[in-house]
Structure 1
């Protein structure tokens, strides 16, 4: 039986889900990488990140990492961090009803209480055709913060179709923390590094990288 233990929580696959052992291992590796980002001494100050955009309540930064260009969105959401984490985890199937950037989103398999496999697709963005993604996700609560991490996996039962270009998420990670001064407010940091696949000008990739 395949299992992983991270930050005091063990996820073990049942016999019926053993065929998804690679997904479990892949997302656990991504989780460790994400925690390294969040724990970096320069992350909160964004000292070595470039500011790309800013509007009321959120800021987007970028930097080059080994997998490519990574983006970070930092902002605030109403509600306590536990509720935000819960909604991020449980409301996948209805995401397209409130997020115009999402064409469809569904949980394909629930592997454990903290690990699942999700298939979703973005709408067309500018000249970039819709991309779809198959990802394994993992969540944890560490030191009073919520974390949700995803990475692309290959799943034979969900092959690429003509309707969407299959993108690859090297790392997608969210940290949800209580605001230090505002009650019922969550500080969010989302890290995203994606290979959109296909021939796309670099300027376009930089423009839409966090929207995909």
Structure 2
């Protein structure tokens, strides 16, 4: 930065006007100490807030000075605490807050590629919710005796999508944990899935996954794999798990698998009204299986996959609860 080079004019610094107005004789530590009276308990809060407000934005843009600034503030607060017993409690409180501020300043921002994946996940979520929010045009594909049902509709820009609606006799937290926290274990209980692997985590909401789908009985649909970006959003009593196909340099197409594409797709979880021990699950499924497959076969396979998924999920949750008890 210009103000850090030898011979640079300090007046070019955005905060120079403030310091020069208060200390016209210069910025040196000696001059500042000579003109500044010993801080009092009344002066410290206002002084700290003023300095923090002036410097915060600049510190975020001065990577080399972040840690030095945090250390300097901590050392100065320690010196003041030792010199004056009066405001010691307040200084300790500020010291804790300055530590939190310094840790936040040290957080690494997302890269351009990571931000792209985050935006893709949010786009999948918004598109999925928009599709599910339109109640017109849905046709019944399957209705099971236990109340599970699969609906479908054809969208001009997406193709045929499927909508599973079921009620699971487990609380939302248990269902969420199985589908999100234990995502990589899905191959253990869902015969339609051979493997799910998290390739990268981005922040707390977004992951890149590689999923291998098992071949269907009779090998009607051969092995497929998917690379997807997924995001999980939880707002109050509602959870949305959304995803769509993406590209990931470290996971090119695999030998023996046809690279299919998800999306937009999502699951919505919410407690059943009046009975929080049960969870309503809505699954929007949109898949392009690629390859040369008749649409009638694809439609039959996908709708049956959703029905089977609900049954396998119930069995998995029942076993998990039995073991925990």
TM-score of the superposition, structure 1-length normalised?
0.85
Question: What is the 5 A alignment of 1:90-109?
Answer: 90-109=181-200
Identify the match of residue 114 of structure 1 among 205, 222, 238: 205
Higher relative contact order (CA 8 A, sep 6+): 1
Structure 1 outlier segments of 4+, above 6 Å = none
Structure with more strand by fraction: 1
What SS does the aligned partner of 2:120 have? Answer: helix
Q: How does 1:38-187 map to 2 (within 5 A)?
A: 38-40=132-134, 42=135, 48-55=137-144, 56-65=146-155, 66-126=157-217, 127-187=220-280
Aligned-partner Cα distance in 1 for 2:206–2:166: 25
Confirm or deny: 8 A CA contact 1:27 1:137 kept in the other structure.
yes
For the Cα contact (< 8 Å) 1:17–1:111, is it kept in 2? no
5+ long unaligned stretches in structure 1: 1-12
CA contact (8 A) 1:82 1:146 kept: no
Q: Which has the higher helix share?
A: 2
Q: Which moved more, 1:47-56 or 1:194-203?
A: 47-56
Partner of 1:198: 291
Partner Cα distance (2:168, 2:178) in 1: 12
CA offset at residue 15 of structure 1?
5.0
1:19 pairs with one of 83, 99, 113: 113
Unaligned ranges ≥5, structure 2: 1-106, 307-325
Q: Is the 8 A contact 1:131 1:167 kept in 2?
A: yes
**Partner Cα separation in structure 2 for residue 82 and residue 151 of structure 1:** 24
Determine helix, strand or coil for the equivalent of 1:209.
helix
Instruction: Provide Cα deviations, 1:139-171, integer angstroms capped at 9, x if missing partner.
Output: 112352111001110112101112211101121
Shift, 1:178, TM fit: 0.8
1:189 to 2:279 alignment: no
Q: State the distance in 2 between where 1:17 and 1:91 align.
A: 27
The structure whose Rg is larger is: 2
Provide the alpha-carbon RMSD of the alignment: 1.9
C-alpha separation in 1, matches of 2:248 and 2:254: 13
Contact 2:132 2:284 in 1 (8 A): no
Q: Does 1:33 align with 2:124?
A: no
